Chains A and B, each alone.
Chain A
Amino acid sequence: METKTESETGSSSPLCEVTGVDKKYPLGETWVQALQGVNLTVNKGEFLALSGPSGSGKTTLLNLIGALDTPTSGEVSLLGQRLSGLSGSELADVRSKRIGFIFQSFNLIPVLTALENVEVALRLAGEVPDRARCEESLKAVGLGEFINRRPSQLSGGQQQRVAIARALVKSPDIVIADEPTANLDSKTGAEVLDLMRELNTKNGSTFIFSTHDHMVLERASRIVTLRDGIVTGERVN
Chain B
Amino acid sequence: MILGNGLIGGLDEGVIRGQIDTQVGHVSLYPPDHPTNGLDNPVDELVELPAGLDSLLAEYTYTTRLRFDTRIVHGVNGMRVVGIGYNPNTDPDVFLRDDFEVDGAWPEESDQVGVVLGKTLASLLDVEVGGIVTMQNRTSMGSQNALSWPVVGILNAQNPLLDSKVAFLTIDQAMELVVAPGPSQVAVRLNRRGETEEFLEVITSADEVGDWQAVSYIDGAEDMLAINKIRRSALKVMIFVLMAIAATGIANTVIMAVYERIREVGTLAAMGMRPKEIRKLFLIEGAVMGFSAALVGALLGGLANYRLSTTGFSVGDLPDAGAIPISTTIYTTFGWGPIWMGLIFGVIVATLASVWPAKFAAGLDPAVAVRDD
- Which A residues lie at the B interface, using CB under 8 A? 59, 63, 66, 68-69, 88-89, 92-97, 101, 103-105, 107, 109-110, 120-121, 124-125, 166, 178
Contact partner of A96 among B271, B276, B365, B371, CB < 8 A? B271
Contact in complex: B273, A124 (CB < 8 Å): yes
Contact in complex: A107, B269 (CB < 8 Å): no
What chain B residues lie within 8 Å of A94 (beta carbons)?
272
Given A68-B366, A68-B367, A68-B370, CB of A92 within 8 Å of CB of B275: yes
Contact in complex: B276, A95 (CB < 8 Å): no
Contact in complex: A101, B270 (CB < 8 Å): yes
Contact in complex: A95, B270 (CB < 8 Å): yes
Is B263 part of the contact surface with A, judged by Cβ < 8 Å? Answer: yes
Q: A95-B270, A96-B273, A120-B268 are in contact. List 5 more A-B contacts (CB 8 A).
A: A68-B366, A92-B272, A94-B272, A107-B370, A166-B271
* Chain B binding surface, main DSSP class: helix
Contact in complex: B267, A109 (CB < 8 Å): yes
Given A105-B263, A109-B267, A124-B268, CB of A88 within 8 Å of CB of B274: yes
Contact in complex: A107, B272 (CB < 8 Å): no
The distance in angstroms between the C-alpha atoms of A109 and B268, with both chains bound, is 9
B269 — nearest CB in chain A belongs to which residue? A92
Given A68-B366, A107-B267, CB of A93 within 8 Å of CB of B275: no
Is B93 part of the contact surface with A, judged by Cβ < 8 Å? Answer: no
Q: Could you pull out 21 A-B pairs where Cβ atoms are within 8 angstroms? A: A59-B371, A63-B367, A68-B270, A68-B367, A88-B275, A89-B274, A92-B273, A93-B274, A95-B270, A101-B270, A101-B370, A103-B267, A103-B370, A105-B371, A107-B263, A107-B267, A109-B267, A120-B268, A121-B271, A124-B271, A178-B371
Tell which of A96, A101, A105, A107 has the most Cβ of chain B within 10 Å: A107
Tell which of B270, B275, B366 has the most Cβ of chain A within 10 Å: B270
The distance in angstroms between the C-alpha atoms of A120 and B265, with both chains bound, is 13
**4 smallest A-B Cβ distances: which pairs?**
A96-B272, A68-B367, A107-B267, A124-B272
What chain A residues lie within 8 Å of B263 (beta carbons)?
105, 107
What chain B residues lie within 8 Å of A97 (beta carbons)?
272
Contact partner of B272 among A63, A105, A125, CB < 8 A? A125
Contact in complex: A66, B274 (CB < 8 Å): no
Band of interface residues on B: 10 to 19
Tell which of A66, A69, A92, A121 has the most Cβ of chain B within 10 Å: A92
Contact with A along B347-373 (1 / 0, CB 8 A): 000000000000000000111001100
B366 — nearest CB in chain A belongs to which residue? A68
What's the nearest-Cβ distance from chain A to residue B369, in Å?
10
What's the nearest-Cβ distance from chain A to residue B186, in Å?
74
Is B264 part of the contact surface with A, judged by Cβ < 8 Å? Answer: yes
The distance in angstroms between the C-alpha atoms of A63 and B369, with both chains bound, is 12
Tell which of B264, B276, B365, B367 has the most Cβ of chain A within 10 Å: B367
What chain A residues lie within 8 Å of B365 (beta carbons)?
69
The distance in angstroms between the C-alpha atoms of A96 and B366, with both chains bound, is 13
Contact in complex: A109, B272 (CB < 8 Å): no
B50-93 interface (Cβ within 8 A of A): none
What chain B residues lie within 8 Å of A107 (beta carbons)?
263-264, 266-267, 270, 370
A167 — nearest CB in chain B belongs to which residue? B271
- Which B residues lie at the A interface, using CB under 8 A? 263-264, 266-276, 365-367, 370-371
What chain A residues lie within 8 Å of B276 (beta carbons)?
89
What's the nearest-Cβ distance from chain B to residue A24, in Å?
14
The distance in angstroms between the C-alpha atoms of A69 and B367, with both chains bound, is 7
Contact in complex: B274, A101 (CB < 8 Å): no
The distance in angstroms between the C-alpha atoms of A110 and B274, with both chains bound, is 20
What chain B residues lie within 8 Å of A124 (beta carbons)?
268, 271-273
What chain B residues lie within 8 Å of A66 (beta carbons)?
270
What chain A residues lie within 8 Å of B264 (beta carbons)?
107, 109-110
Tell which of B272, B273, B276 has the most Cβ of chain A within 10 Å: B272
What's the nearest-Cβ distance from chain A to residue B21, in Å?
59
Tell which of B263, B268, B273, B366 has the most Cβ of chain A within 10 Å: B366
What chain B residues lie within 8 Å of A93 (beta carbons)?
272, 274
The distance in angstroms between the C-alpha atoms of A105 and B369, with both chains bound, is 12
What's the nearest-Cβ distance from chain B to residue A208, in Å?
15
What chain B residues lie within 8 Å of A59 (beta carbons)?
371
Contact in complex: B367, A101 (CB < 8 Å): no
What chain A residues lie within 8 Å of B270 (beta carbons)?
66, 68, 95, 101, 107
The distance in angstroms between the C-alpha atoms of A178 and B370, with both chains bound, is 11
What chain B residues lie within 8 Å of A103 (beta carbons)?
267, 370-371
The distance in angstroms between the C-alpha atoms of A93 and B272, with both chains bound, is 6
Contact partner of B275 among A89, A96, A101, CB < 8 A? A89
A68 — nearest CB in chain B belongs to which residue? B367
What chain A residues lie within 8 Å of B273 (beta carbons)?
92, 96, 124
What's the nearest-Cβ distance from chain B to residue A230, in Å?
20
What chain A residues lie within 8 Å of B272 (beta carbons)?
92-97, 124-125
The distance in angstroms between the C-alpha atoms of A89 and B264, with both chains bound, is 18
What chain A residues lie within 8 Å of B271 (beta carbons)?
95-96, 101, 120-121, 124, 166
What chain A residues lie within 8 Å of B266 (beta carbons)?
107
The distance in angstroms between the C-alpha atoms of A178 and B366, with both chains bound, is 14
A111 — nearest CB in chain B belongs to which residue? B264
What's the nearest-Cβ distance from chain B to residue A223, in Å?
23
The distance in angstroms between the C-alpha atoms of A38 and B267, with both chains bound, is 26
The distance in angstroms between the C-alpha atoms of A97 and B274, with both chains bound, is 13
What's the nearest-Cβ distance from chain A to residue B243, in Å?
30
